[in-house]
Chain A
Amino acid sequence: MILTFLRIAFLRLRNNPLELLLVFVMPVLFFSIFAMIFSQGIAAGTEKPVRLGLFLPEDNKDSRALREQLLQKTSLICTDLRLPATPEQQQRAILDAQNSSHYDLLLQLPSDFSRLDESRFQLRLITDGQNAMATAMVKAILEEYYAVQRVQVVVEKLQDSARAAAKVAAERAAAQRAAAEERAKAARAEAAAAETGRRLPAVDESEGGGQFFNNPTTPEKVFAGSGGAAPLDQVVSDGASDRPTDVLAPPADAIPQEVEAGTEMPEELTEIVAADELISQGAVPQISVDNPQASDQQNPRIAMYAAGIAVLFLLFACTGHAATMLEEAESGTLDRILVSEAGLFQIVAGKWLGIYLMGCMQLTVMFVFAEFVFQIHLWRHLAGFLIMAGSTSAATASFAMLMATICRTRSQLQGAATVIILSMSAMGGSMIPRFVMSDRMKELGRWTFNAWALDGFQKVFWFQSPLESLQPEVVVLLGSSLIMSVATLLLSGRWRRGI
């Protein structure tokens, strides 16, 4: 019996070229417009992996676990960096790393970080504010990784004034380098010797890697950290990485200490200078990351826009198809069907299945188009796509059926659905990427299908996360689908009563 309803849906679609156009061509058209806009803008060109500088404590097993996770992300190129012991030196090292332009972001983890007491800690993502997309991506990866540990990821943005001050300090320090040249050379030689033994297995020395670890250090001196967009005051704080970040003005100790010309440079500062020189020379040890997927992928972010547009149109298309219930009720067709062998459950299930399959087809058409035109590597991410397409279609089909059951007329449904869908799409990221939204809006967006669906597609096509990572999105989408389907069945008795 349910197959008969599928046949009705199929025949109606096949016999109606205009509807075919609206369901399958229109979303592709809109997506193409969006893709063209963004392919000339923030998502332009071949996608490069995000360069992430890691200030992670080496003797901390939890820190090492995080590092291993990050290394698995093909969308990241991770570089181990060393953070000195004193706050002044730390602040200087962070600023220097940021100024070196070798990193899109810096990640810092407190040296005493422990998963057993992880709620005390904050992970610091440090950025110069130039790469919002990268910041959003790394923040999402970290939040995903630490989702169950309640670790807070704080994005910090270096302020221009502090950076300028840092530059001035660096220039003064450079003047002092001449006086301490001999000692600095000795330090570099020592660091080079030490690096050989400290190099990590995956280190790529093609860019002079290894020299950065020349300076001897202790576990206590090593910080964990990362780059993202956030205020400088956190970056230049006293080193307590779990400190709140709501203070915008840099603290008094934010500026590196000046060293008078002619005086001998302290040993610690000499180490920093050495590191700074290495960074400025590009002699940064870079961990080689095998990135077969992203290497020839034209633009994985395009997949995100495909998902955004697809979900938006999916909601409209599903609601439009669910409106056939109201159309049939108004014409008496539903009464005729209710009198037949088909029960109410079969009618609702058949309608739901028809809408669900149409949704799956619509998403497939959209992503196949995106694959052929924008090379989003659909085939490599096929399993993830199928999981997300199925979950998203299920949720939207249930939403549409519930809306059709609640509304009394087609005009009611049309009006209510338009408002709700556009609101959900705006908050959920179908219109505006979620990473440009405030945290509050992001939280609100979590109440929409779009957000969960887009997060899932983002993980599949952009972060290239493993399938297991889709569990939260799939659970939410399928769970809400189940709840709405049950509600639809409970409310569907009104069809029998003819009200």
Chain B
Amino acid sequence: MTVENQPILTLQSVRKSYRGRAALQGISLQLYPGELLGFFGPNGAGKTTMIRCICGLLKPDEGSITLRIPDSFQGSRADRPGLVPQNLAVYPDLTVQQNLEVFGRLEGVRGAVLQQRIDEVLDWSALNDRRRSLARTLSGGMQRRLNIACSVLHRPAVLLLDEPTVGVDPQSRERIYAMMQELTATGTAVLLTTHQLEEVETRCDRIVVMDHGQIVADGQLPQLVTASLGLPHRVELSFQQPCAVELREFEFDEQRLTAVCRLSSMQQLPGVLEVLQNLPEAPQSINVRSFGLQDVFLALTGRSLRE
């Protein structure tokens, strides 16, 4: 990851309402060059509204959105974000090449430059051998890659992706993330909205959680876990009979059938487990787990259904 100090995109107290219903309630966010930002939240949290505001499709009621183009992008048409919608936003009746041509033209790229960019993008998305195929005849993974390829022809400084890996096989998913890594390596900032938490955990440089039109968490995973759940590791003991012995660092429930201990590091685990040797009766089960993004997400947004 190549993250410069100056943010490429800055949202400052952005507010947006639809017919009196607040969709964004003072969003502030920075996106840095070369950063892969995982952005997620429950359905209806305001993600799409925020993306539409960043794209310029919607005008915020309040606040500001600033795009600062790094010098490395000067001369290109990078001042317009690239948008990759969730659905297949290409023309199914056009070939891969034709889709790239028309979307390149719509982005203002013409002539030899366009042809060069099309060749580059086809290589980048591994679609070169299917350039003359109609988009509708491509596999799901290829269509997803074409969907992304059509948005980068003008070399945008910021790329916004809405669930780019829905419904694709693991191989295509790997390829898509490899494409994004290559993009961020050139300084492009990528904002990725997804519900694939595992991918966000492992692929993204930073994670932002949004709910009820507000950003409720922003940072890297350990920071989010600590901020929302406290210590990141958990040891849980279960007993068949109420445990009569007091265990240091463990908390029992009322029936004393379950005891829980939180650890700041897995290195503490051997020391914690050592106390079990003094128990008259061994626990029925020992469960050790580290908190993940799902735990953070549920902790921040609750378990009630939103739709």
A interface residues (Cβ-Cβ under 8 A, vs B): 1, 4, 7-8, 11-12, 15-16, 328, 330-333, 335-342, 496-498
Contacts and interface: CB of A to CB of B under 8 A. Distances in A.
Contact of B90 (A333, A335, A339, A342): A333
Interface in B59-79: 77
Nearest to A499: B18
Nearest to A342: B106
Contact of B102 (A8, A335, A341, A497): A8
Contact of A336 (B48, B83, B134): B83
B91 A333 contact: yes
A1 B108 CA distance: 8
Contacts of B95: 15
Interface stretch (B5-13, B50-58, B190-198, B289-297): B50-58
Contacts of B82: 339
Contacts of A11: 91, 93-94, 98, 102
Contacts of A333: 85, 89-91
Contact of A335 (B55, B80, B94, B98): B55
Contacts, number: 81
Contacts of B89: 328, 331-333, 335-336
Contacts of B81: 339
A12 B85 contact: no
B103 A331 contact: no
Contact of A496 (B58, B77, B103, B150): B58
Contact of B91 (A8, A338, A340): A8
Given A8-B94, A331-B89, 5 more contacts: A1-B106, A8-B91, A8-B102, A339-B55, A498-B48
Query: Which of A16, A330, A335, A496 lies at the interface centre, i.e. has the most chain B CB atoms within 10 A of its CB?
Result: A335
B88 interface: yes
Contacts of B77: 341
B80 to A, nearest CB: 6
Contacts of B90: 333
Contacts of B103: 336, 340
Question: 5 tightest CB-CB pairs across the interface, nearest first?
Answer: A332-B85, A332-B89, A340-B106, A333-B89, A12-B93
A335 B81 CA distance: 12
A1 B102 CA distance: 10
Contacts of A337: 106
Contact of B57 (A4, A12, A328, A496): A496
B83 A335 contact: yes
9 contacts: A1-B106, A11-B91, A15-B93, A15-B134, A16-B93, A340-B103, A341-B107, A496-B57, A498-B48
Contact of B85 (A1, A335, A496): A335
Given A1-B106, A11-B102, A12-B94, A330 B57 contact: no
B83 A4 contact: no
Interface in B117-176: 134, 150-151, 162
B126 to A, nearest CB: 21
B87 interface: yes
B257 to A, nearest CB: 51
A116 B58 CA distance: 62
A4 B102 contact: yes
Contacts of A330: 87
Nearest to A330: B87
A331 B135 CA distance: 14
B87 to A, nearest CB: 5
A497 B80 contact: no
Given A11-B98, A15-B134, A339 B93 contact: no
Contact of B83 (A7, A328, A339): A339
B102 A7 contact: yes
A367 to B, nearest CB: 28
A336 B82 CA distance: 8
B55 A341 contact: no
Contacts of B151: 336
B86 interface: yes
Interface in B227-258: none
Contacts of A336: 83-85, 89, 103, 150-151
Nearest to A497: B58
A338 to B, nearest CB: 6
Nearest to B106: A340
A341 B94 contact: no
A11 B134 CA distance: 11
Nearest to B84: A336
Contacts of A16: 93
A332 B98 contact: no
Contacts of A339: 55-57, 80-83
A85 B230 CA distance: 115
